[in-house]
Amino acid sequence: MDLQELVDRSWAIRQAYHNLEVKYHDSKWTVEEDLLALSNDIGNFLRLVMRKQGRYYDEIPHTLEQKLSENIWWLVELSQRLDVDILTEMENFLSDKEKQLNIKTRR
């Protein structure tokens, strides 16, 4: 999967969730509610990392891989709601870091 497909599929999934939010709660979640959901998922991800390292007990019904992917999904979704072109901004970020750290890329 390329990054544009990731963005497109993430957006379609979020729109389906928005439809459910409207159906059951009469309005879509706000950006702040999305951030709250992300912060909850980050907490779950942290516990899964701790569990993998033997520092937390097994109570979470998700896998580390699922939660990591879900957190990336939330960030992609939030970038669109905040009008941030995540593909361009990631390219800029990576290019800046490569330049800063004198990393030669094979592009």
- pLDDT band per the 50, 70, 90 thresholds, residue 103: very high
Within-domain flag for 45: yes
Within-domain flag for 11: no
- Count up the domains in the chain and report the number: 1
Within-domain flag for 77: yes
Within-domain flag for 91: yes
User: What does the DSSP assignment read for the chain?
Assistant: --HHHHHHHHHHHHHHHHHHHHHHHSSPPPHHHHHHHHHHHHHHHHHHHHHHTTSS-S--SS-HHHHHHHHHHHHHHHHHHTT--HHHHHHHHHHHHHHHTTPPP--
Within-domain flag for 107: no
Instruction: Please give the pLDDT value at position 107.
Output: 64
Within-domain flag for 106: no
Q: At a CB cut-off of 8 Å and minimum separation 6, what does 91 contact?
A: none
Q: What are 50-98's pLDDT values in tens digits? A: 999 999 887 778 899 999 999 999 999 999 999 999 999 999 999 999 9
Q: What are 19-62's pLDDT values in tens digits? A: 999 999 999 999 999 999 999 999 999 999 999 999 988 777 88
Within-domain flag for 23: no
CB neighbourhood size of 31 (10 A): 11
**Structural domain of residue 51, as residue ranges?**
30-100
* C-alpha radius of gyration, the chain, whole number: 17
- Owner of token pair 């009008």: 83
Instruction: Please give the pLDDT value at position 92.
Output: 97
pTM, rounded to two decimals: 0.86
Within-domain flag for 56: yes
